[in-house]
Amino acid sequence: MPEIYIDSSQRIIAVGKTGSGKTFLMKYLTRTLKRLMVLDPKAMIDPAQWHLDWVSGNGLRDLQNGKNVRLLVRTYDTAEWNTYLTAAWNAGNTVVYIDELYALVEFGRIAPPRILSQLYTQGRERKVGVWGATQRPAWVPMFSISECDWFFAFRTQLQDDRKRLSELMGPEVLDPIPVEDRFGFWMYSIEWDHPYYVDQLRINGEKKDEVKATQTYEKLETHR
């Protein structure tokens, strides 16, 4: 397996059925990030376990002022997603992790917020990474997959989903994840020729340092 270096300004997508291990991996990958905003539309994320503070006016100001803050946003109001995503855009140098991307399009009922596509397509310039998870690739906006630098394909229910993922990652991911490896996944970078299979033990066991994410900083002009 090649050396893995995920930059905080990159885009990541984790796809897999419920319970396949997406959030677990993301918790692992985000643990070292100093400036993080977690959007938790499913109300599944424990702020203590993740070392997050509930978002507040002060928290957003700290983010804007370049301080190190890890914020948890939990709201069901799609209009509010706009506010928080815009705050991340304005602050720059931040990773936004969206624990279920599908919720931001209100489960197919509304178009994605404009700021979401802006973050995906132009966030690199502001050093804003967007890391997302979804149960099905067909449910989320095209740009949230096509803009990605890194793909993690966990167990999926439908052959259709694996077919979609194989178009991005390679034919290897067409085969279902072996039953004996509950949290196994295929990992792919757009710079690689083919995906690599990562079994759960590599994340939990001694080899876990193979997968690293680092946050780099750049001075940014803030403009609205």
Ligand X SMILES: Nc1ncnc2c1ncn2[C@@H]1O[C@H](COP(=O)(O)OP(=O)(O)OP(=O)(O)O)[C@@H](O)[C@H]1O
Residue 135 lies near ligand X (rule: CB under 6 A)? yes
Stretch that binds ligand X, among 20-28, 101-109, 114-122, 213-221 (CB under 6 A): 20-28
Is residue 23 near Mg ion by the rule CB under 5 A? Answer: yes
C-alpha 198/C-alpha 81 separation (Å) is 33
How many residues bind ligand X (CB under 6 A)? The answer is 14
Q: Which 191-220 residues touch ligand X, going by CB under 6 A?
A: 200, 203-204
111: tokens are: 């178009």
Q: Which is nearer to Mg ion, 183 or 186 (CB)?
A: 183
Residue 50: how many CA atoms within 13 Å on its side-chain side?
28
3-state secondary structure of 119: helix
Q: Is 16 in the site for ligand X (CB under 6 A)?
A: yes
Shortest distance, position 219 Cβ to ligand X, whole Å: 35
Distances (CA, A) of 27 to 2, 84, 168: 22, 20, 24
By DSSP bridging, strand 196-198 and strand 185-189 are: antiparallel
Whole-angstrom distance, CA of residue 156 vs CA of residue 210:
24
Judged by beta carbon distances under 5 to 8 A according to partner kind, the member of Mg ion, ligand X, none in contact with residue 18 is ligand X
Smallest CA-to-CA distance from 148 within 109, 195, 80 is with 195
Residue type, 90: N
Of residues 39-78, those binding ligand X (CB under 6 A): 44
Examine residue 132 and tell whether it contacts ligand X (CB under 6 A): no
Please identify which residue in 7, 24, 66, 80 interacts with ligand X, judged by CB under 6 A.
24
What distance lies between CA 105 and its chain's CA centroid? 16
Q: Which is nearer to Mg ion, 98 or 145 (CB)?
A: 98
Q: In angstroms, how far is CA 154 from the centroid of its own chain?
A: 14
**Under rule CB under 6 A, which residues in 136-195 are in contact with ligand X?**
183
List residues binding ligand X (CB under 6 A): 16, 18-24, 44, 135, 183, 200, 203-204
List residues binding Mg ion (CB under 5 A): 22-23
